[in-house]
Structure 1
Amino acid sequence: MIVADGVTLALGQPPARVQILHGIDLSVATGDSVALLGPSGSGKSSLMAILAGLERPSSGAVGVTGLDFATLDEDALAVARRGRIGIVLQAFHLLPTMTALENVAVPLELAGERDAFERAAAELEGVGLGHRLDHYPAQLSGGEQQRVAIARALAPRPALLFADEPTGNLDTATGAAIMDLLFARHRDTGATLFVITHDPALAARCARVIELADGRIVADRRRA
């Protein structure tokens, strides 16, 4: 599902150039659940952005879902992500003028899906929001908004799902419920799940835990 070979990332220009990632080598199997664990500033989100095709590495090769991301231009990367990669972020990024149903359905419509609203309704039902289809983000709690964001990420039925600190804006109980939902949907769909976190307890729920420090992989272990 994911192959990274010698990936580096440097930002800025000399003499203020900052090295974010240092020679990352990584392979993730289809259907696996992986936690990328590390403190703030360790490069977790930068690595996710590269693996998701949102950022280009300074050097190295990246293969995702069988595609060589290094050979694709920005437009081709956007097409490659569509339907293949779902992303759930700490910030919900819902459109405030659209209902929960519209927030999930409109990206499907733009991708040319004929049954966009039916699929959106089914995904919202799947995350426990079948009774909130016509509510706007401001009418939803933080946990409900994050569930809409999860439904939006899952609706295209991606083979790969990234979650970058998805509970960071939620209280402990709501955050735990959101992670229960993500892992349940991972099991139900068979999608590869890649969770970025600084929480060891959350990371321990994944089958594999990769630790990042100062832009380098310092540990890689699989749960017994």
Structure 2
Amino acid sequence: MVIRARAVTLSLGSRAAPTDILKGIDLDIAAGSSVAILGPSGSGKSSLMAILSGLERATGGGVEVAGVDFTTLDEDGLSRARRGRIGIVLQAFHLLPTMTALENVAVPMELAGIADPFTRAEAELAAVGLGHRLTHYPAQLSGGEQQRVAIARAVAPAPAILFADEPTGNLDEATSAGIVELLFERRRAADATLVMITHDPALAERCDRIIRMRDGVIVEDCAA
């Protein structure tokens, strides 16, 4: 199992008046699988992804990801643990506006100490169909192109796990279809485990497994 979560809770707010976001999640995800986490707004699915990807610390329970015990790590430790192990694609592209497409993909690898970051970035951008847009800035790219850069940035370090949170949420229907195909193709090329947050049942059915959440708990877990 590349992900193990046991009795994971997340509470926000004060001790006197906490808001329980996750209420005791138990979850195992096998290496190489693709998993969709489906649920309405407020169900806790994005919060669960944030904890599993090391962007958020659980209030309680245990989380082990790619052989690392996330439970014992502070924010700096979680940041180090993500490097090279985890790639993340979000609904908002989160590209740095002052960097070119090539720099947006290469610089995070350079800062992480990954060898040949610009060579790898150029190859991955070519793989997502942007070999001719290396020197363009985000403002010069369409929404679909920006998400392609974000996918390249996530996949270029060859992570063990690829997380995607509503990856087509800011795109029109025609562009979304191409981005979905690209996401799954690049995931296969990297041989990465895919954990995808979505509200779209049709997109969820592209995965091997569908987990449905409601009110901070898993209510269904089945093969797609």
Which residue of 2 is the match for residue 2 of structure 1?
3
User: After superposition, what is the alpha-carbon deviation per residue over 1:99-134, rounded to whole angstroms, capped at 9, x for unaligned?
Assistant: 100110111111123411110000000101001101
Q: Is the 8 A contact 2:155 2:187 kept in 1?
A: no
Matching residue of 1:171:
172
Q: Tell me which amino acid in the other structure corresponds to 1:113.
A: I
CA–CA distance in structure 1, aligned partners of residues 74 and 141 of structure 2? 38
Q: Distance in 1 between matches of 2:136 and 2:149?
A: 11
Q: How does 1:144-163 map to 2 (within 5 A)?
A: 144-163=145-164
Structure 1 letter corresponding to 2:165: D
Q: Does 1:135 find its partner at 2:136?
A: yes
Which runs of 5 or more structure 2 residues have no equivalent in the other structure? Answer: none
C-alpha separation between the residues in 1 aligned to 2:189 and 2:82? 21
Shift of 1:73: 2.1
Distance in 2 between residues matched to 1:113 and 1:200, nearest whole Å: 37
3-state SS of the aligned residue for 2:126? helix
Q: Which amino acid is 1:91 matched to? A: A
| 2:191 corresponding residue in structure 1 | 190
Q: What do residues 48-96 of structure 1 show as CA deviations (whole Å, max 9, x unaligned)?
A: 0100111111110001001111112222211110000000000001111
The alignment's TM-score, normalised by the length of structure 1, stands at 0.97
- Aligned pair 1:41/2:42, yes or no? yes
Secondary structure of residue in 2 paired with 1:177: helix
Which SS does the other structure have where 1:182 is aligned? helix
**2: CA distance, partners of 1:16 / 1:202:** 37
Shift of 1:149: 0.4
User: AA paired with 1:158?
Assistant: P
Amino acid of the structure 2 residue aligned with 1:207: D
> CA–CA distance in 2 between the matches of 1:217 and 1:85?
23
Q: Aligned-pair distance for 1:15?
A: 4.0
1:85 equivalent in structure 2: 86
Q: Cα 1:65–1:114, aligned 2, differ >3 Å: closer, same or farther? A: closer
Q: Comparing 112-121 with 98-107, which one deviates more in the overlay? A: 112-121
Deviation at 1:16, TM superposition (A): 3.0
Unaligned stretches of 5+ residues in structure 1: none
- State the distance in 2 between where 1:91 and 1:26 align: 27
* Cα distance, 1:14 vs structure 2: 4.1
Residue 67 of structure 1 aligns with which residue? 68
SS at match of 1:45: helix
- Aligned-pair identity (%): 71
